[in-house]
Structure 1
């Protein structure tokens, strides 16, 4: 299968959709293969962060391979209940992946490809990246979380325009609206993504997991409940060995040695 998986620094998963001849679109087989890779990442306790990217330079991912995947989804729709969520590539359903993820985007990032990127925690892009959710042009809607995540990231107005028109936006527009955090030259993309990943790995793993959980929860619950959850997570962290080590390392001006407990 053309989903490449390698491990960097024993702690970072580098996942590449390697189907450039199809603009890194996912047919049913590759959809399942990518889902299996995310499961492998989730289940390996040594892996702390994942970087997702696409091969070939023309596309990050252009979503579903229409002629193969959409008929498959249509068959599924005939037998599903009305509220059954479907995870695209094993990443877009609720809590598919429980550790930090970075999308390193070059070229077209459209349809389900953008939904994969939206499901990642951090998105960086090259100047040639292009973003769109064109599903309404095909008589469907963004069904991999696009209608739910895009507005929370870029705001209601921008999301409505992108989703209802299907229009494409540039990397610069994406940056200005918070869809990506960095726009870099193509030759810098891998190094910038890896630098971010290494900086995450260097932090306390329990703290990273709790902070990620608290931030994601802030989009789902009222402020009062979010603050209560944040306080409970902080209380738990303060009682860990990692928190004691973090304070000791700061006091002693050395690099902390976290053990994840």
Structure 2
């Protein structure tokens, strides 16, 4: 198994998934990505899962693409249909996805972190795009997502030098939302996920989609998309519940309808 799934959820509505290839520093083999896509698909279909935390171990979130696979299969190790379809499925996951990063998040591992909606990093975490050291460049979205979060100079520094930045720098640059003591990333990520899981799940999915639209379109088109997501949220029973709970000064009980 290339993943470890918590058999008892850490808190209601939260699924914790751990990458589990410790001998390879959780390198993203094709099998791991296919398994991850399948697990996230199951989470997407489960009404009991409202938010997902994705983690590695204390040494590594993920060292990136599996270089052994690249040596054996070349470009097909990265862009073979099986792996590429799995990566796209992870990217398309609609529910809130939170990364808990300890140790290294390099190459494809960092690009997987950037697919997540919120990033919690332990103080020992490091982030890098070292593909240049292999005579290549980031190929799982790094050259496109980094400039959408960083300045041009910061993105170029990561991509062109291959050098790692520490967790404090990543937070300062905006790649990390929460910086915690080493070893505390999963705990903090689960806390955040639990807060999200207590909200209206349809509204959370619509909100995630609206924010993501901002990275992919113009402001005017994004505002139109936002208004449409708001209209959809007003059609839900959970919206009625939220309004009634506010008016009667009680805690809402969102059911996902």
> What TM-score, normalized by structure 2, do the two folds share?
0.91
Which residue in the other structure is 1:121 paired with? 117
Which residue in the other structure is 2:55 paired with? 53
Instruction: Report how many aligned residue pairs link the two structures.
Output: 255
Distance (Å, rounded) in 2 between the aligned partners of 1:243 and 1:91: 33
- Within-5 A mapping of 1:7-86: 8=9, 9-55=11-57, 57-69=58-70, 71-75=72-76, 86=84
- Within-5 A mapping of 1:213-224: 213-224=209-220
The answer to whether structure 1 residue 153 and structure 2 residue 149 are counterparts is yes
Is the contact between residue 105 and residue 126 of structure 2 (CA under 8 Å) also seen in structure 1?
yes
Distance (Å, rounded) in 2 between the aligned partners of 1:13 and 1:219: 27
The farther-off stretch of 136-145 and 3-12 is 3-12
Distance (Å, rounded) in 2 between the aligned partners of 1:70 and 1:141: 16
**Structure 1 residue runs without a partner (length 5+):** none
Report the RMSD for the aligned CA atoms in angstroms.
Answer: 2.2
The answer to whether structure 1 residue 173 and structure 2 residue 174 are counterparts is no
Which residue in the other structure is 2:200 paired with? 204
> Shift of residue 191 of structure 1?
1.8
The farther-off stretch of 6-15 and 130-139 is 6-15
3-state SS, counterpart of residue 186 of structure 1: coil
Which deviations, in whole Å up to 9, do the C-alpha atoms of 1:132-162 show, x marking residues without a partner? 0011111121111111111112232211110
> What TM-score, normalized by structure 1, do the two folds share?
0.90
**Structure 2 residue runs without a partner (length 5+):** none
